[in-house]
Amino acid sequence: MQTNGNDSKGMVSDINVTPLVDVMLVLLIIFMVTAPMMTQGVDVKLPQSSAPAIPSDDERLVVSVTNDRKVYINDNQVELSELGGKLAAITQNRQDHKGVFLRADESIPYGFVMEVMGNIREAGIDQIGMVTDPMKDSTKTAPAKGKRKK
């Protein structure tokens, strides 16, 4: 018994993409829900400043100094004596080594922050951006308008 080419009982060679789309949508939802929870960092209480934000489109290294004087490159703790060497090694492999952001806790003495900045400069990095929190009170104190005493 022969079958002609119009028989509908043969194999279908079309790919069914519905299961693929279902799986991709589920993965998309999972990543959208979990992405905000994946951000990690070093807790640093930053000083407040009314200076405007630095515009930056690229991803820079962040050197953080905590209130107990621990130094981190992004999220990795390093010894202060090793900071310059590690930064030099990192920037040597990066072509976009434009600079470093320095986040220091407000309770750290100024001298220790300058020591960290010196180690960053010794690594050959000239552009150091200081990270601060914006001022909570946006109203600036203006001189009082009134009568002057003579």
Write the CATH number for 87: 3.30.420.270
pLDDT value, residue 142: 46
Q: Is residue 66 included in any domain, yes or no?
A: yes
Quick check: 94 pLDDT over 60? Answer: yes
β 128-130/133-134 pair status: unpaired
Quick check: 124 pLDDT over 80? Answer: yes
pLDDT value, residue 149: 46
Quick check: 64 pLDDT over 60? Answer: yes
What is the radius of gyration, based on Cα positions, of the chain?
28
Nearest one of 148, 91, 81 to 119, comparing CA atoms: 81
In three-state secondary structure terms, 65 is strand
In three-state secondary structure terms, 128 is strand
Q: Which domain holds residue 107?
A: 48-134
Quick check: 118 pLDDT over 50? Answer: yes
Q: Is residue 8 included in any domain, yes or no?
A: no
Mean per-residue pLDDT for 14-41? Answer: 83
Q: Is residue 91 included in any domain, yes or no?
A: yes
pLDDT value, residue 147: 47
| pLDDT above 70: percentage of residues in the chain | 65
Q: Is residue 39 included in any domain, yes or no?
A: no
Q: Is residue 149 included in any domain, yes or no?
A: no
